[in-house]
A and B are shown apart, each in its own frame.
Chain A
Amino acid sequence: MEDLKNILAEHQFFNGFNEEYFALIVGCASNVRVDTGKMILREGEQANQFYLIRSGKVSIQLMTPNKGPVIIQTLHEGDILGWSWLVPPFTWHFDAKAIELTRMIALDGKCLRAKCENDHDLGYELLKRFADIMTKRLESTRLQLLDIYGDRS
């Protein structure tokens, strides 16, 4: 348990995170290893966890009818995978696949949601951190939408 706590504390997502909260969330954490080419999560399935990537590479994909899976984004060491656990109806909106051997810490979303309901300070702290991630991803997506390298740039 102490090891997991140290790993969480070293991850940039938890930079400056209040020490007392670690005791609350470490019980929701577990180590995960995903081999190259294996799916981590699938669109439409229940989103009951999120992941802190410790090493490896993950692709976020969307299945398209004619082209097959299109990669939307790749995530690396230090990134967070998944925030649908935080927002009803708690289902994944994309697929995620390990494109390299990937080691992560999985955090149980159900367990965390319950703890956040009981301790709104913890909930607010986590929400601020996820809002930062969502903002960055929205900004990136907007730039991608501009298709700046295309003919219309």
Chain B
Amino acid sequence: MATDPELLSLKVDYKRNPMLPWPFQIRRVKHETEDTFTVELQPLGALEEFAFQPGQFNMVYVFGVGEIPISISGDPAKPRILVHTTRAVGTVTKAMDKMRRGDILGIRGPYGTPWPVEQAHGLDVVFVAGGIGLAPLRPALYEVVAHREQYGKVVLLYGTRTPSDVLFRQELENWRARFDLEIYVTVDRAMSGWRGNVGVVTNLISRAPFDPRNTIAFVCGPEIMMRFTAMELHKRGVDIEHIFVSMERNMKCAIGLCGHCQFGSYFVCKDGPVFQYGKIKDMLVKWEI
């Protein structure tokens, strides 16, 4: 897809029109696993930087195909590069998967509530990620690692399907090599050669090194995994008010108008995606919601 010079010369303040996608050019595509990939994007035209907070998402538009919400997985301290990691599962993400360096995507955002990393100052921080859920947590990890002295123990518990589904492998190795981060990875199943953990991610919670009375937890993954994780964290002694989860619902407008992502009395796009677990826990088990 070619860049339209006319489009780029527009002096539109895209922030004033939240429904207007801004063109971003793909500068790199990296395949993380068999079905998961990361795109690095840079804004075109008048927009030089794209500031966001950890946990926020964008509406990503593949022209002629469709628009979907995808969490930002990059470093908030590097606003010149926008990073998204997603799985090729639907029409839009499969089209994205075929795109290459130089292609153009439309971006609206950033939207939604962030991980409350400032609230975590002085506390132990436990990240619990399931599958692709590691991607929306990564910006918060970058933030915490960049200001490591402001936090107590920092623990990442990451569960995924098989060893070949482990995301950001090199980065996990780098973090694991640090003495001030505790990184635990587990998979649901593995062949005999795997020397890591096998079992669900909730199994890691009881033995992870953190002080539950002084801990804040950020949890992202499939909804069932988040429910059981929150239960285990609470069982270990973490205050419900200190557990945050990132919700996913079908979003269209992303600004709380269309109602597609309504979740009880909330709109996930505007009131979330990051919620204090206590506020939504009763709704997670309601069939009607």
Give me the interface of A with B, judged by CB distance under 8 Å: 59, 61, 67-74, 76-78, 97, 99, 139-140, 143-144, 146-151, 153
Contacts and interface: CB of A to CB of B under 8 A. Distances in A.
A136 to B, nearest CB: 8
A72 B189 contact: yes
A70 B161 CA distance: 13
A153 to B, nearest CB: 5
Interface string B159-185: 111000100000000000000000000
Nearest to B204: A76
A139 B224 CA distance: 12
Contact of B207 (A68, A70, A78, A140): A78
Interface stretch (B18-26, B105-113, B116-124, B191-199): B191-199
A143 B198 contact: no
A102 to B, nearest CB: 13
Chain B interface size band reads: 20 to 34
B190 interface: yes
Interface in B108-143: 130-132
Contacts of A97: 192
A144 B222 CA distance: 13
Interface in B204-230: 207, 221-222, 224-225, 228
A152 B171 CA distance: 28
Nearest to A146: B224
A69 B199 contact: no
20 contacts: A68-B192, A70-B189, A70-B191, A71-B190, A71-B191, A71-B198, A72-B198, A74-B186, A74-B199, A77-B207, A140-B202, A147-B161, A148-B221, A148-B225, A149-B132, A149-B161, A149-B188, A149-B221, A153-B222, A153-B224
Contacts of B202: 140, 143
